[in-house]
Amino acid sequence: MNVKKQIFEGEGVKLDFKKTITSCEKIARTMVSFANNKGGRLLIGVADDGTIKGVKSEDEERYMITKAAHLYARPALEPVFEEVYVDDKLVLIVDTPESTLKPHYALAEDGKWWVYVRVRDKSVLASKIVVDVLKRSTENTGVLIEYSSKEKSLLEHLEKTPRITVKEYCDLIKVGRRAAQRILVNMVLSGIIRIHTTDKEEYYTAA
């Protein structure tokens, strides 16, 4: 494993740098977002710009991360630790594998539990549709698509326009948000459409 190469490539969907652990809430959010996606790695002792600072006390960092994984994540997470020296400085590697118990929730500063997913190099709050997709993606039951005029309208729209939002879909088929969300979740799970989450909005495209 070439840690220096990973640091050079920078933070992304599966990699996050932390100079030190200062908050259980923040680190739980990152680990939960990794577990809800395809897994990811934390490099502790590395600044956001990739400067290798090293950790002063790996025991303290391990304690904070384990506490965050067990008490600030639900279901609890089991991070995997490894210590490496980079340029004579100790870097703590923390791997969070993709989970089979999605969705995982992180305890926020407001005392509430929220689901987070990884978008590029950030952990962002998951929408209700993403939470439903995560919940049902771990079920063994198949998805029965009722191919009605509502589904047909969506696919016809996506043939002309490359993307659509929930609000645009509600307006298109003249239904409430909840009914539209149910249809979108089923179509995402069946692989007919794809969901795209960004910092600012969520939209759907044909698969």
pLDDT given for residue 108 in this prediction? 94
Residues 113 and 71 grouped into a single domain = yes
Residues 33 and 112 grouped into a single domain = yes
Last residue of a domain, one of 126, 147, 181: 126
pLDDT tens profile 89-140:
999 999 999 999 999 999 999 999 999 999 989 999 999 999 999 998 887 6
- The yes-or-no verdict on residue 142 having pLDDT over 80 is no
Do the strands 15-18 and 40-44 form a parallel or antiparallel pair, or are they unpaired? parallel
pLDDT tens profile 43-80:
999 999 999 999 988 899 999 999 999 999 999 999 99
Q: What are phi and psi of 32, to 5 degrees?
A: -60, -40
pLDDT given for residue 190 in this prediction? 86
Confidence of residue 201 (pLDDT cuts 50, 70, 90): confident
pLDDT given for residue 134 in this prediction? 93
In angstroms and rounded to an integer, the radius of gyration of the C-alpha atoms of the chain is 20
Q: What are phi and psi of 42, to 5 degrees?
A: -105, 135
Q: Which domain holds residue 170?
A: 135-206
- Cα distance between residue 104 and residue 113, in whole Å: 9
Tell me the pLDDT of the chain averaged across its residues. 93
pLDDT given for residue 2 in this prediction? 86
Q: Which two tokens stand for residue 136?
A: 């049902």
pLDDT given for residue 150 in this prediction? 93
pLDDT given for residue 140 in this prediction? 64
- Cα distance between residue 43 and residue 77, in whole Å: 17
Residues 182 and 86 grouped into a single domain = no
Domain count, the chain: 2
- Cα distance between residue 186 and residue 207, in whole Å: 13
Residues 155 and 81 grouped into a single domain = no
* Torsion from C-alpha of 160, 162, 168, 156, nearest 10 degrees: 40
The whole-model pTM stands at: 0.86
Residues 51 and 7 grouped into a single domain = yes
Task: Give the closest residue to 31 by CA, choosing from 78, 90, 92, 91.
Answer: 78
Last residue of a domain, one of 92, 126, 160: 126
Q: Which two tokens stand for residue 87?
A: 């340029």
pLDDT given for residue 1 in this prediction? 62
Residues 17 and 114 grouped into a single domain = yes
Residues 65 and 88 grouped into a single domain = yes
Cross-strand partners of 85: 90
Enclosing H/E stretch for 107: strand 105-107
Task: Give the closest residue to 61 by CA, choosing from 46, 50, 51, 75.
Answer: 46
Residues 99 and 10 grouped into a single domain = yes
Residues 104 and 159 grouped into a single domain = no
Q: How many CA atoms lie within 13 A of 202 on its CB side?
A: 19
Residues 51 and 104 grouped into a single domain = yes
Number of H helices, E strands in the chain: 7, 10
Domain with residue 93: its CATH number is: 3.30.950.30
